């Protein structure tokens, strides 16, 4: 049986981390065995171990440890007779380690951000790099078209149980049973568009006074910028007089059940410009999760979200950063339940066709091709 080493650097649990756990959980056990390496202890390591995944941590602590991690990975790859390294990012340390060990590796481009020479070196050395959307691959190659043939686009997949009961959010947070619940989920980062959601909420309350609002997610411990950002969000809610109708659900292990408790979910991701480059949504995993559990999606027309949602068919798209357009779209769905139901049905069908775990077969075929190429050379 061939062994695949997965490298996922970070300790937090975000869309990329959930996605790689989905990949590992659905791996073809008759062909491959998985081992996961992280660079930090934390919630992600705890979850992977609870899932029965063999997980080890090579801790980093300063510049010297960056080189140490490379050599630890090289020795580990050789010791475990790894046949393929799958890096859940463009982490150059893991890429160099696999290259030094003489083992093919693939990367995963999940977000759109200002790419550096390290990212370009990673893609150059990789056997192939998986992009979660055409938008992500296109942004990477905008100034480096020579790398385009290194990319394969394979969207994220979500593993959704057949039977899923919504989380009891209303009783948990003392929300009236007759209330409509509109929410968003995402890490505490400005490009996720929390401020746009909050400003839209003030407008939605005027058109639909029975609406309550929910932010799912929390600031990571020790991340001062996230803590400060969360403080700013709460201040904005107070300033707009929304404190009585806004809840912060925090980090949720039961994210699918929590999303299922909403009437509408918004994905108000923004485009943040940094010089000639941008930061925005590479995919938007929460959108496919909502589609899977039957919750209407209103999202910004940015990045991978434009590929997930067919505007007016499987969801609604609005201009990024436009709180008025976001509010108008939400109010429209609340007032036209027939249209909302039709959108939910179309979204469910689209999820099953494109984003269920069956879609991972394309990725596993990539594994087979790379491993078989290695056999042919020996």
User: Do the beta carbons of residue 52 and residue 225 sit within 8 Å?
Assistant: no
Query: What's the domain range around 191?
Result: 169-354
Residue 57 sits in the same domain as residue 16: yes
Q: What's the average model confidence in pLDDT over 310-315?
A: 98
Residue 55 sits in the same domain as residue 119: yes
Residue 82 sits in the same domain as residue 199: no
**327 band by pLDDT with thresholds 50, 70 and 90:** very high
Q: What is the pTM of this model?
A: 0.94
Let me know if residue 148 belongs to a domain: yes
Residue 30 sits in the same domain as residue 138: yes
Residue 335 sits in the same domain as residue 367: no
Residue 22 sits in the same domain as residue 119: yes
**Residues 99-124 pLDDT 10s:** 999 999 999 999 999 999 999 999 99
Residue 297: what pLDDT? 98
Residue 23 sits in the same domain as residue 70: yes
Residue 62: what pLDDT? 65
Q: How many Å apart are CA 22 and CA 293, to the nearest integer?
A: 17
Let me know if residue 162 belongs to a domain: no
User: Do the beta carbons of residue 323 and residue 236 sit within 8 Å?
Assistant: no
Q: How many Å apart are CA 252 and CA 254, to the nearest integer?
A: 5
Let me know if residue 21 belongs to a domain: yes
Residue 286 sits in the same domain as residue 317: yes
Residue 235 sits in the same domain as residue 204: yes
Let me know if residue 205 belongs to a domain: yes
For 20, other C-beta atoms within 10 Å of its C-beta total 25
Helix (H, G, I), strand (E, B) or coil at 73: helix
Let me know if residue 164 belongs to a domain: no
Residue 378: what pLDDT? 46
Residue 40 sits in the same domain as residue 129: yes
Let me know if residue 163 belongs to a domain: no
Residue 119 sits in the same domain as residue 180: no
Residue 1: what pLDDT? 81
Q: What's the average model confidence in pLDDT over 207-213?
A: 97
Residue 276: what pLDDT? 80
Residue 63: what pLDDT? 61
Q: What's the average model confidence in pLDDT over 286-311?
A: 98
Q: How many Å apart are CA 182 and CA 200, to the nearest integer?
A: 11
For the chain, the domain total comes to 2
Among 282, 243, 249, 276, CA closest to 265: 249
**Residues 9-65 pLDDT 10s:** 988 899 999 999 999 999 988 899 999 999 999 999 999 999 999 999 998 766 666
Q: What's the average model confidence in pLDDT over 358-370?
A: 96
Helix (H, G, I), strand (E, B) or coil at 57: strand
Q: What's the average model confidence in pLDDT over 346-375?
A: 94
Residue 64: what pLDDT? 66
Let me know if residue 196 belongs to a domain: yes
What is the overall mean pLDDT for the chain?
A: 94
């Amino acid at each position: 049986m061939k062994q695949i080493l997965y490298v996922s650097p970070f300790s937090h649990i975000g869309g990329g981390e959930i996605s790689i756990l989905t990949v590992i959980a659905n791996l073809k056990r008759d062909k491959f065995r998985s081992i996961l390496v992280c660079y930090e202890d934390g919630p992600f390591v705890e979850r992977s171990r609870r899932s029965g995944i063999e997980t080890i941590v090579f801790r980093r602590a300063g510049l010297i440890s960056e080189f140490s991690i490379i050599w630890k990975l090289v020795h580990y790859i050789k010791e475990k007779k790894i046949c393929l390294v799958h890096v859940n990012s463009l982490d150059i340390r893991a890429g160099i380690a696999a290259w030094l060990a003489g083992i093919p590796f693939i990367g995963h481009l999940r977000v759109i951000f200002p790419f550096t020479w390290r990212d370009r070196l990673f893609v150059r050395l990789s056997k192939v790099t998986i992009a979660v959307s055409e938008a992500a691959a296109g942004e990477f190659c905008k100034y480096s078209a020579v790398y385009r043939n290194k990319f394969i686009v394979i969207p994220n997949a979500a593993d959704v149980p057949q039977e899923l009961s919504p989380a009891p959010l209303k009783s948990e947070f003392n929300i009236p049973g007759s209330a409509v619940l509109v929410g968003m989920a995402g890490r505490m980062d400005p490009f996720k568009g929390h401020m746009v959601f909050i400003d839209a909420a003030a407008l939605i309350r005027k058109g639909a006074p029975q609406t309550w609002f929910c932010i799912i997610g929390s600031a990571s411990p020790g991340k001062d910028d996230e803590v400060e950002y969360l403080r700013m969000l709460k201040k904005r809610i107070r300033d707009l007089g929304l404190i009585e109708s806004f809840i912060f659900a925090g980090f949720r292990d039961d994210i699918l059940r929590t999303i299922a408790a909403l009437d509408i979910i918004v994905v108000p991701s923004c485009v943040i410009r940094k010089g000639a480059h941008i930061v925005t949504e590479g995919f938007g995993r929460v959108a496919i999760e909502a589609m899977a559990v039957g919750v209407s999606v209103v999202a910004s027309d940015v990045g991978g979200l434009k590929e997930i949602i067919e505007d007016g068919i499987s969801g609604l798209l609005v201009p990024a950063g436009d709180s008025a357009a976001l509010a108008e779209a939400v109010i429209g769905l609340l007032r036209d339940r027939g249209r909302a139901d039709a959108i939910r049905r179309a979204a469910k069908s689209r999820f099953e066709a494109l984003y269920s775990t069956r879609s991972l077969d394309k990725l596993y075929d990539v594994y087979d091709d790379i491993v078989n190429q290695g056999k042919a050379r020996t």
